[in-house]
Amino acid sequence: MLDVGVKGSSTVIVDEGNTALAIGSGTLRVFATPAMIALVESTASRSVAPFLDEGSSTVGTHLDVAHTSATPVGMEVVCETELIEVDRRRLVFSVVVRDAAGEIGSGTHERFIVDNAKFMSKAESKLE
């Protein structure tokens, strides 16, 4: 059963591929905000995956996350999520992202539980 309190954790090393310069979100060789957002979504998604029915997954629908400190190439970044609200299919996570020097980001992330086949059918109907 999916309930409040489910936690997730993921780690990534800042390398040339996830910098603002490489991703195009800026011109500096520091951990890119879009890379941090992807880490947040991935961590939250994987944390609840074991609790979902077969044929279901979650999709990100809202982020309210501040990226407050730069992390240079070579440092490790750790993302921690905690499920703080379950409202039927709507899931809300608290998020904290840190490097060895301290917090680099925090906020909330919302995901919805979807039926994979129905979701993809609706998305692909846009091609018609």
Find the mean pLDDT for residues 21-25. Answer: 98
Percent of the chain with pLDDT over 70: 100
Residues 1, 11: Cα–Cα separation, whole Å: 26
Instruction: Return all residues near 104 (Cβ < 8 A) that are at least 6 apart.
Output: 31, 36, 67, 68, 69, 70, 71, 77, 97, 98
Q: Could you tell me the CATH superfamily of domain 7-127?
A: Hotdog Thioesterase (3.10.129.10)
Per-residue pLDDT at 1: 77
In this prediction the pTM is 0.95
